[in-house]
């Protein structure tokens, strides 16, 4: 069964620190990877997409992809209390129709 | 771009009743996806449409569930004879081809 795994947390970091969120996936042929942020009671909001090995930076967010290790991560620099949310890793597996396979999400708490 | 719209936002019903949800995608998006999310879990794929054609259904979608997208625009998801286990957030997302999926605010279903 094709899976996406995340540590459910909570991950607690102080304000201003770097938060590191990790995700592994089972399908070596996967090509598309996404990080969504979800506030309690709200719908997922896309933060980053990444398709190639290496790093991709957008503001305070950096996504890192290592296809050989089947590993994708999200770094949040200068974490703010407003970053407190659940972060969902989603993968489009090879040979499928574009549907997203989500991990269970990691809850991030940024303490002032 | 008015975003993905879902109605109703919240539906409370008694066990055994039928319910129908509506999703209006972003106007130029040809793909529409339905997902279901329970507390503490990531969204799970239910089904998707490309234009008016329903191209894939998850095994999670029992015979009590039916989805339509009659003119390739809005979509409806109907659940017949609701059960306690149907209580969840039902999320709709749309995309242009296999591009980024944008989510609506969801419909939260509560079964009494």
**pLDDT for residue B97:** 87
Q: The tokens of A105 are what?
A: 């999400």
Is B33's CB within 8 Å of A100's CB? Answer: yes
Looking at chain B, how many residues does it have?
112
* pLDDT confidence of residue B51: 94
How far is the alpha carbon of A42 from chain B, nearest alpha carbon, in Å? 6
Mean pLDDT over each residue of chain A, to the nearest integer: 94
pLDDT band at A64, cuts 50/70/90?
Answer: very high
pLDDT for the residue A107: 97
Please report the pLDDT score of residue A94 as a whole number: 80
**Farthest-apart Cα atoms in chain A, separation:** 44
According to the model, what pLDDT value does residue A96 have? 66
Residue B71 clears pLDDT 90, i.e. is over it:
no
Report the DSSP beta bridge partners of residue A12. Answer: A109
CB B3 within 8 A of CB B103: no
Helix (H, G, I), strand (E, B) or coil at B45: strand
- Which B residues 60-99 touch A at CB under 8 Å? 91, 93, 95, 97-98
Q: Which of B42, B48, B91 is nearest residue A104 as measured by Cβ atoms?
A: B42
Q: How many residues does chain A have?
A: 112
Predicted local confidence at residue B76, as pLDDT = 98
pLDDT-based confidence at residue B72 (cuts at 50, 70, 90): confident
Looking at residue A18, the DSSP 8-state letter turns out to be P
Query: pLDDT band at residue B61, thresholds of 50, 70 and 90?
Result: confident
pLDDT band of residue A8 (cuts 50, 70, 90) is confident
Q: What are the backbone angles phi and psi of residue B80, rounded to the nearest 5°?
A: -95, 150
Q: Which of B40, B43, B56 sits opposite A97 (nearest CB)?
A: B56
The SS3 call for residue B84 is: helix
Model confidence at B1: pLDDT above 60: no
Q: Are B48 and A44 within 8 A, CB to CB? A: no
Smallest Cβ–Cβ distance between A102 and the set B40, B43, B48 belongs to B43
Chain A CB within 8 Å of residue B52 CB: no
- B46 shares contact with chain A (CB less than 8 Å): no
In chain A, residues with a C-beta closer than 8 Å to the C-beta of B41 are: 104-105
Q: Over 80: is that where the pLDDT of A1 sits?
A: no
Distance of alpha carbon A98 from its chain centroid, rounded? Answer: 18
Across A64-90, average pLDDT: 97
d(CA A106, CA A92): 19
Residue B64: Cβ within 10 Å count: 13
């Amino acid at each position: 069964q094709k899976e996406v795994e995340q540590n459910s947390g909570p991950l607690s970091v102080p304000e201003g620190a770097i938060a590191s969120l990790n995700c592994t996936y089972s399908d070596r042929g996967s090509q598309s990877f996404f990080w969504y942020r979800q506030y309690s009671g709200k719908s997922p909001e896309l933060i980053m997409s990444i398709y190639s090995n290496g790093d991709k930076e957008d503001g305070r967010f950096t996504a890192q992809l290592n296809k050989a290790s089947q590993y994708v991560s999200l770094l949040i620099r200068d974490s703010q209390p407003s970053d407190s949310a659940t972060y969902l890793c989603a993968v489009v597996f090879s040979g499928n129709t574009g549907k997203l396979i989500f991990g269970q999400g990691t809850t991030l708490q940024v303490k002032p | 771009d008015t975003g993905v719209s879902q109605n109703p936002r919240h539906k409370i019903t008694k066990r055994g009743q039928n319910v129908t949800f509506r999703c209006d995608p972003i106007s130029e998006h040809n793909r529409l996806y339905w997902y279901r999310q329970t507390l503490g879990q990531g969204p799970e794929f239910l089904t998707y449409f490309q234009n008016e054609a329903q191209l894939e259904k998850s095994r999670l979608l029992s015979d009590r569930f039916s989805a339509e997208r009659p003119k390739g625009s809005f979509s409806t998801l109907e659940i017949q004879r609701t059960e306690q286990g149907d209580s969840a957030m039902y999320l709709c997302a749309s995309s242009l081809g296999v591009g980024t999926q944008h989510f609506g605010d969801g419909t939260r279903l509560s079964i009494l």
